[in-house]
Amino acid sequence: MANELDISKGGIVSLVQNQELGDIIKPLVREIHLFDTYVAGTTHLQDKSVLETIQVQDSLLLRREDNKYDSNAVLILNNEQKKLGYVPEKDNLIFSRLMDAGKMLKAKITKIEKKGSFTQISIGIYLVDF
């Protein structure tokens, strides 16, 4: 019976038994680097304390935003979902279209530079592929 699922000791079921779904899927996820840019709008943050908690290599969340100034706005959040800023308007058209089409994107901090009272955050944007 070649088409049966082998549930014997050491079979495929034993590989996934007692594991969380995220642990099973994680090895199947690839992050494809798409673009390098920076976080725009950090000088306009209402809660600037978020800038003190970020570090290079932190993963960031990207979320579409209904924005009256920019119909392609892509919001950048830290893992606690606190606002860091936006993907710059000059760069956001492709990313907003990918997200609107149901693609999952994320970002990672590549560099943080303090310039007086200004903090420049460089990021890489990645397509999360399953």
Q: What is the pLDDT of residue 29?
A: 76
| Alpha-carbon dihedral 108, 99, 42, 66, rounded to 10 degrees | -160
Contacts of 56 (CB under 8 A, 6+ apart): 109, 110, 111, 112
Ranges of residues in the chain with a pLDDT under 50 are none
Report the distance separating Cα 74 and Cα 91, nearest Å: 10
Report the distance separating Cα 106 and Cα 87, nearest Å: 11
Q: What is the pTM of this model?
A: 0.78
Report the distance separating Cα 85 and Cα 94, nearest Å: 18
Burial class of residue 57, CB neighbours in 10 A (0-12, 13-18, 19+)? exposed
Could you say which DSSP state residue 100 is in? H
Q: What is the pLDDT of residue 13?
A: 54
CA angle, 74 then 79 then 84, to 5°: 45
Q: What is the pLDDT of residue 20?
A: 65
Q: What is the pLDDT of residues 53-83, one digit of tens each?
A: 999 999 999 999 999 999 999 999 999 999 9
